[in-house]
Amino acid sequence: MPTLLIAILTLGAVGLFLALPGGRADTRRVGWVVLAAAGAVLLALLLQLVPGADPRGLFAGFALVAVFAALRVITHRKPVYSALYFILLIFAVTGLLVLLEATFLSMALVIIYAGAILVTYVFVIMLAQQSRPAPYDVKSREPVWGCLAGFLLLILLARQIELFLVPAQRTPLPAPVAEAAGTIEAVGVPLLTEYVVAIQIIGLLLLAALVGAIAIARRRATPRVESEGDE
Protein backbone atom coordinates (compact mmCIF):
# COMPACT_ATOMS: atom_id res chain seq x y z
CA MET A 1 0.00 0.00 0.00
CA PRO A 2 2.68 2.59 0.74
CA THR A 3 4.01 2.37 -2.79
CA LEU A 4 0.51 2.73 -4.16
CA LEU A 5 -0.20 5.66 -1.89
CA ILE A 6 3.01 7.35 -2.95
CA ALA A 7 2.14 6.83 -6.56
CA ILE A 8 -1.36 8.22 -6.13
CA LEU A 9 -0.15 11.25 -4.28
CA THR A 10 2.59 11.92 -6.83
CA LEU A 11 -0.06 11.71 -9.48
CA GLY A 12 -2.14 14.16 -7.49
CA ALA A 13 0.83 16.51 -7.24
CA VAL A 14 1.33 16.49 -10.98
CA GLY A 15 -2.35 17.05 -11.54
CA LEU A 16 -2.51 19.89 -9.08
CA PHE A 17 0.53 21.50 -10.66
CA LEU A 18 -1.14 21.40 -14.02
CA ALA A 19 -4.48 22.58 -12.69
CA LEU A 20 -3.13 25.58 -10.78
CA PRO A 21 -3.86 28.95 -12.38
CA GLY A 22 -1.16 30.16 -14.76
CA GLY A 23 -1.10 27.57 -17.46
CA ARG A 24 -3.20 27.36 -20.59
CA ALA A 25 -6.79 26.17 -20.42
CA ASP A 26 -6.15 22.73 -21.95
CA THR A 27 -3.25 21.90 -19.66
CA ARG A 28 -5.51 22.80 -16.76
CA ARG A 29 -8.06 20.40 -18.16
CA VAL A 30 -5.42 17.68 -18.37
CA GLY A 31 -4.55 18.43 -14.81
CA TRP A 32 -8.16 17.93 -13.73
CA VAL A 33 -8.28 14.57 -15.43
CA VAL A 34 -5.13 13.45 -13.66
CA LEU A 35 -6.50 14.73 -10.37
CA ALA A 36 -9.78 12.92 -10.89
CA ALA A 37 -7.96 9.66 -11.59
CA ALA A 38 -5.81 10.04 -8.52
CA GLY A 39 -8.83 10.97 -6.43
CA ALA A 40 -10.82 7.96 -7.62
CA VAL A 41 -8.05 5.52 -6.74
CA LEU A 42 -7.49 7.18 -3.41
CA LEU A 43 -11.17 7.05 -2.61
CA ALA A 44 -11.31 3.40 -3.52
CA LEU A 45 -8.43 2.75 -1.20
CA LEU A 46 -9.95 4.77 1.62
CA LEU A 47 -13.35 3.14 1.29
CA GLN A 48 -11.86 -0.25 2.02
CA LEU A 49 -11.05 1.04 5.43
CA VAL A 50 -14.55 2.18 6.31
CA PRO A 51 -16.64 -0.63 7.71
CA GLY A 52 -20.31 -0.92 6.96
CA ALA A 53 -22.18 -0.01 3.78
CA ASP A 54 -24.08 3.02 5.01
CA PRO A 55 -21.23 5.10 6.54
CA ARG A 56 -18.99 4.02 3.70
CA GLY A 57 -21.22 5.63 1.09
CA LEU A 58 -21.73 8.77 3.07
CA PHE A 59 -18.02 9.07 3.88
CA ALA A 60 -17.18 8.55 0.22
CA GLY A 61 -19.56 11.25 -0.88
CA PHE A 62 -18.49 13.83 1.71
CA ALA A 63 -14.80 13.12 1.19
CA LEU A 64 -15.14 13.47 -2.54
CA VAL A 65 -16.97 16.76 -2.20
CA ALA A 66 -14.48 18.03 0.37
CA VAL A 67 -11.39 17.26 -1.70
CA PHE A 68 -12.99 18.60 -4.86
CA ALA A 69 -14.06 21.81 -3.13
CA ALA A 70 -10.60 22.22 -1.61
CA LEU A 71 -8.98 21.80 -5.00
CA ARG A 72 -11.29 24.35 -6.51
CA VAL A 73 -10.57 26.82 -3.72
CA ILE A 74 -6.89 26.78 -4.52
CA THR A 75 -7.16 26.54 -8.26
CA HIS A 76 -9.95 28.91 -9.12
CA ARG A 77 -8.93 32.19 -10.76
CA LYS A 78 -11.80 34.24 -9.33
CA PRO A 79 -11.64 34.87 -5.59
CA VAL A 80 -15.42 34.96 -5.21
CA TYR A 81 -15.66 31.45 -6.53
CA SER A 82 -12.89 30.35 -4.24
CA ALA A 83 -14.90 31.64 -1.30
CA LEU A 84 -18.05 29.92 -2.49
CA TYR A 85 -16.21 26.63 -2.95
CA PHE A 86 -14.89 27.06 0.54
CA ILE A 87 -18.49 27.14 1.77
CA LEU A 88 -19.02 23.90 -0.06
CA LEU A 89 -15.98 22.52 1.70
CA ILE A 90 -17.48 23.57 5.04
CA PHE A 91 -20.65 21.69 4.26
CA ALA A 92 -18.70 18.58 3.34
CA VAL A 93 -16.73 18.79 6.57
CA THR A 94 -19.99 19.29 8.43
CA GLY A 95 -21.27 16.05 6.97
CA LEU A 96 -18.13 14.27 8.04
CA LEU A 97 -18.52 15.68 11.52
CA VAL A 98 -22.04 14.34 11.70
CA LEU A 99 -20.64 10.97 10.70
CA LEU A 100 -18.30 11.35 13.63
CA GLU A 101 -21.35 12.02 15.84
CA ALA A 102 -20.31 15.63 16.56
CA THR A 103 -23.70 17.16 15.85
CA PHE A 104 -23.34 20.33 17.88
CA LEU A 105 -19.92 21.04 16.48
CA SER A 106 -21.14 20.53 12.94
CA MET A 107 -23.89 23.09 13.45
CA ALA A 108 -21.47 25.50 15.09
CA LEU A 109 -19.14 25.09 12.15
CA VAL A 110 -21.86 25.92 9.65
CA ILE A 111 -23.09 28.92 11.59
CA ILE A 112 -19.72 30.40 12.42
CA TYR A 113 -17.78 29.55 9.29
CA ALA A 114 -20.31 29.61 6.54
CA GLY A 115 -22.56 32.14 8.25
CA ALA A 116 -20.08 34.59 9.69
CA ILE A 117 -16.48 34.22 8.60
CA LEU A 118 -17.01 33.42 4.97
CA VAL A 119 -19.59 36.18 4.59
CA THR A 120 -16.93 38.61 5.81
CA TYR A 121 -14.50 37.16 3.30
CA VAL A 122 -16.97 37.61 0.51
CA PHE A 123 -17.53 41.21 1.58
CA VAL A 124 -13.85 41.95 1.53
CA ILE A 125 -13.42 40.23 -1.80
CA MET A 126 -16.21 42.34 -3.22
CA LEU A 127 -14.62 45.43 -1.73
CA ALA A 128 -11.31 44.70 -3.42
CA GLN A 129 -12.75 43.48 -6.67
CA GLN A 130 -11.37 44.75 -9.93
CA SER A 131 -12.98 45.05 -13.32
CA ARG A 132 -10.93 42.32 -14.97
CA PRO A 133 -9.17 39.36 -13.37
CA ALA A 134 -6.21 40.62 -11.44
CA PRO A 135 -2.77 39.44 -12.68
CA TYR A 136 -1.96 38.06 -9.26
CA ASP A 137 -5.01 35.80 -9.46
CA VAL A 138 -4.26 34.59 -12.92
CA LYS A 139 -0.70 33.44 -12.35
CA SER A 140 0.37 31.40 -9.37
CA ARG A 141 3.67 31.68 -7.66
CA GLU A 142 6.32 28.96 -7.86
CA PRO A 143 3.80 26.16 -8.39
CA VAL A 144 6.53 23.55 -8.93
CA TRP A 145 8.15 24.08 -5.57
CA GLY A 146 4.87 24.50 -3.79
CA CYS A 147 3.40 21.26 -5.14
CA LEU A 148 6.61 19.38 -4.66
CA ALA A 149 7.09 20.42 -1.06
CA GLY A 150 3.40 20.08 -0.23
CA PHE A 151 3.03 16.58 -1.58
CA LEU A 152 6.32 15.49 -0.13
CA LEU A 153 4.91 16.55 3.19
CA LEU A 154 1.65 14.78 2.45
CA ILE A 155 3.40 11.54 1.55
CA LEU A 156 5.44 11.71 4.70
CA LEU A 157 2.36 12.49 6.77
CA ALA A 158 0.44 9.60 5.24
CA ARG A 159 3.31 7.26 5.88
CA GLN A 160 3.54 8.50 9.42
CA ILE A 161 -0.17 8.07 10.02
CA GLU A 162 -0.02 4.58 8.65
CA LEU A 163 2.96 3.57 10.73
CA PHE A 164 1.25 5.08 13.66
CA LEU A 165 -2.06 3.36 13.18
CA VAL A 166 -1.00 -0.12 12.18
CA PRO A 167 -0.88 -1.44 15.73
CA ALA A 168 -3.97 0.55 16.68
CA GLN A 169 -6.02 -0.95 13.91
CA ARG A 170 -5.75 -4.36 15.45
CA THR A 171 -7.45 -3.24 18.59
CA PRO A 172 -11.23 -3.65 18.56
CA LEU A 173 -13.26 -0.63 17.63
CA PRO A 174 -14.46 1.46 20.52
CA ALA A 175 -18.01 1.00 21.61
CA PRO A 176 -20.49 3.20 19.77
CA VAL A 177 -21.22 6.39 21.62
CA ALA A 178 -24.63 6.83 23.21
CA GLU A 179 -27.42 8.71 21.46
CA ALA A 180 -26.67 11.88 23.42
CA ALA A 181 -23.15 12.08 22.02
CA GLY A 182 -22.13 15.40 20.49
CA THR A 183 -25.10 17.35 21.81
CA ILE A 184 -24.75 20.78 23.37
CA GLU A 185 -24.89 19.28 26.83
CA ALA A 186 -22.21 16.72 26.13
CA VAL A 187 -19.80 19.29 24.72
CA GLY A 188 -20.85 22.11 27.05
CA VAL A 189 -20.16 20.30 30.31
CA PRO A 190 -16.43 19.78 29.75
CA LEU A 191 -16.22 23.17 28.06
CA LEU A 192 -17.54 25.01 31.12
CA THR A 193 -15.99 22.83 33.79
CA GLU A 194 -12.66 21.40 32.73
CA TYR A 195 -11.79 24.06 30.16
CA VAL A 196 -13.33 27.09 31.83
CA VAL A 197 -10.03 28.95 32.01
CA ALA A 198 -9.35 28.26 28.36
CA ILE A 199 -12.74 29.61 27.39
CA GLN A 200 -12.07 32.79 29.33
CA ILE A 201 -8.78 33.18 27.53
CA ILE A 202 -10.47 32.58 24.19
CA GLY A 203 -13.02 35.25 25.07
CA LEU A 204 -10.21 37.66 25.86
CA LEU A 205 -8.50 36.77 22.60
CA LEU A 206 -11.66 37.48 20.66
CA LEU A 207 -12.06 40.81 22.41
CA ALA A 208 -8.48 41.73 21.62
CA ALA A 209 -8.96 40.72 18.00
CA LEU A 210 -12.10 42.81 17.83
CA VAL A 211 -10.39 45.88 19.27
CA GLY A 212 -7.38 45.31 17.06
CA ALA A 213 -9.47 44.93 13.93
CA ILE A 214 -11.31 48.16 14.67
CA ALA A 215 -8.09 49.99 15.45
CA ILE A 216 -6.44 48.78 12.25
CA ALA A 217 -9.39 49.36 9.96
CA ARG A 218 -9.99 52.86 11.28
CA ARG A 219 -6.54 54.05 10.33
CA ARG A 220 -6.39 56.34 7.33
CA ALA A 221 -3.68 54.97 5.14
CA THR A 222 -2.30 57.37 2.61
CA PRO A 223 -3.21 55.79 -0.71
CA ARG A 224 -0.12 55.07 -2.71
CA VAL A 225 -1.59 53.71 -5.90
CA GLU A 226 1.26 53.84 -8.34
CA SER A 227 0.58 51.24 -10.94
CA GLU A 228 -2.28 48.85 -10.46
CA GLY A 229 -1.17 45.35 -11.10
CA ASP A 230 2.43 45.32 -12.14
CA GLU A 231 3.69 42.24 -14.01
Interface of this chain with other proteins, residues 184 to 203, rule: CB under 8 A: 186-187, 190-191, 194-195, 198-199, 202
Give the separation between CA 194 and CA 177, rounded to whole angstroms.
21
Binding to other proteins by residue 126, rule CB under 8 A? no
34 binds other proteins (CB under 8 A): no
Angle at 78 between CA 72 and CA 84, to 5 degrees: 55
CA-based torsion, 42, 48, 53, 58: positive or negative: negative
Among 29, 115, 177, 200, binds other proteins (CB under 8 A): 177
Does 179 bind other proteins (CB under 8 A)? Our answer is no
14: contact with other proteins by CB under 8 A: no
Cα–chain center distance at 123: 20
Q: How far is the CB of 140 from other proteins (least distance, A)?
A: 4
Work out whether the CA dihedral 25, 31, 37, 38 comes out positive or negative. Answer: negative
Q: Is 172 in the site for other proteins (CB under 8 A)?
A: no
Binding-site size for other proteins (CB under 8 A) equals 107
Instruction: Using DSSP, state whether 23 is helix, strand or coil.
Output: strand
Contacting residue, 140, 170, 172, 197, with other proteins by CB under 8 A: 140
Q: Is 35 in the site for other proteins (CB under 8 A)?
A: no
Our finding on whether 115 is near other proteins (CB under 8 A) is no
Give Dmax (Cα) for the chain: 65
CA angle at residue 36 from 30 to 39, to 5 degrees? 140
Q: Is 110 in the site for other proteins (CB under 8 A)?
A: no
CB 39 within 8 A of CB 64: yes
Q: Which of 24, 142, 179, 197 binds other proteins (CB under 8 A)?
A: 142
